[in-house]
A = this chain, B = another copy of it.
Amino acid sequence: MNKSADATEAFDIAIVGGELLTISNDMSKISDSFIGISDGKIKLVCSAKEMRGSVFFAKKTINANNMVVMPGFVNTHAHLAMSCFRGIADDMPLMKWLHESIFPLEKQFVDYDMVYYGSLLSMAEMLLAGITTCADSYFFEEAIVKAGIEAKIRLIVGKGFFDPPNIDSVVVEKIIAIAEKFVTRCGNISDLIVPAIFCHSPYSCSPQVMKALKNVARENDILFMLHLLESADENKIVFDRYGQSPVELLLVNDILDKKTVAVHGVYLNANEIDIFAEHEVKVSHNPQSNMKLACGVAPIARMKKANICVGIGTDGATSNNRLDMFSEMSTTAKLHKVSALDATILPAQDIVRMATIDGAKVLGIDSLVGSIEVGKLADIIIVDFNAPHLTPVYDYYSHLVYCAKASDVYATIVNGSIVVFNNEVKTFDVASVINNVNKLKNVITSHYSV
């Protein structure tokens, strides 16, 4: 047990009852649990029984009877603003989809307002689905930061970089200056916001730009994220251009370290898995995106065997098309079983860890969030198990992975603030955001034939 505070202590929030899944190292569980939260942090974790007879004060008490209490989900990869394009281009191969739909759409319609409203829309979807942290990778990041602070969601904000047409040392210096300015501006704006660098991919960013931006990331001790080996084409494109594979390119340019997050990694071979393991590179696995775009199945079981830390990501709403860790968990578990023809691969408990604490490790914030332990930040969700599809319960992890849905999330707490309660977003007006996104959609459809 984790009881570490005086029983007469006052809390901002007390969560009483429920089945607590701590997702700590020992995966300890407490039936009929008690959690005390103050100043955004978890102050007390014990059984409700231990509190019997004690006097405690709480500004807000949540009764979690017949519910599961667990850390919020960590979404390791998304492009939040792209929810404005949700479902506009489906059932197309990756490169055609990118070059004939997504890039032209982005060129024409992405601006501050679109990113702001699209991000808020995605934040509503994520918070309602129990996602408390998201690593975003996009453009107009001031709009994302503004949306995140309003929504009260924890964000890693990856400023996105593509190569401009003609790269020389002057251009590289300008890019470095832009990145540094972003990190400085974003670094101290809120407890909820952590800046990061996002290079789109080794086929759209040159080695000199990636190297320069990795240096900015390293100097500021922040994450460097990039799409890597999402499709089979990528190896050939990069090799034809540089005479090296994407992973070789990253290795010789000193880009691979424990603060680099490779998103997708579908075509990582055995040798590259060893290189990743040696350099402690992190991986964001986006199974539903990889399936829908027919990219392939990332060798996740082999990565985990090599002790690579793997989190789960939803990707953007154009490639998935939703931001829902429950469906990602279910799909991750099933996809790797069927692809290895081995039903014992990635059991439910491992999947829940991937969606919480392992995601936090991927993003370098596992000392702060990802499990429910005294001293950690209070990023907590409460999942209501009082439903036919969650009855009966033999194993809570099994139900979280194979049965539960986003709509079962009763409450979402981020940094000690209740942001979703009784399935409703409390921090901003979702109806008004839906309205604004629908207006943007009307502009898009009047200029773009679906």
Contact = CB atoms under 8 A, between A and B. Distances in A.
B292 A333 contact: yes
A297 B438 CA distance: 38
Interface string A335-353: 1011011111111100000
Nearest to A346: B91
Contacts of A94: 343
User: Could you say how many copies of this chain the assembly holds?
Assistant: 2
Contact of A90 (B87, B122, B124, B348): B348
Interface string A389-417: 10111110011001101110000000000
A327 interface: yes
A356 to B, nearest CB: 19
22 contacts: A84-B392, A85-B394, A86-B392, A87-B398, A91-B343, A92-B343, A92-B344, A125-B388, A129-B389, A232-B341, A292-B343, A292-B402, A294-B341, A297-B338, A321-B402, A321-B403, A323-B389, A324-B405, A388-B434, A392-B440, A394-B445, A407-B407
A367 interface: no
A376 interface: no
A-B CB proximity, top 10 nearest: A407-B407, A291-B334, A392-B441, A294-B343, A87-B398, A291-B338, A124-B388, A91-B347, A321-B402, A125-B388
Given A93-B342, A321-B402, A292 B87 contact: no
Interface in A274-315: 288, 290-297
Interface residues of A, number: 74
A250 interface: no
A87 B403 contact: yes
A183 interface: no
Contacts of A377: none
B347 A394 contact: no
A148 B348 CA distance: 32
Contacts of A330: 288, 327
A321 B402 CA distance: 6
Nearest to A337: B294
Nearest to A400: B87
Contacts of A389: 125, 128-129, 322-324, 406
Contacts of A450: 394-395
A87 B293 contact: no
A192 B298 CA distance: 45
Contacts of A343: 91-94, 97, 292-294
A316 B440 CA distance: 43
Nearest to A266: B338
A335 B93 contact: no
A276 B330 CA distance: 32
A430 B388 contact: yes
Contacts of A293: 337, 343
Contacts of A87: 393-395, 398-399, 402-403
Nearest to A439: B392
A285 to B, nearest CB: 13
Given A293-B343, A337-B294, A438 B391 contact: yes
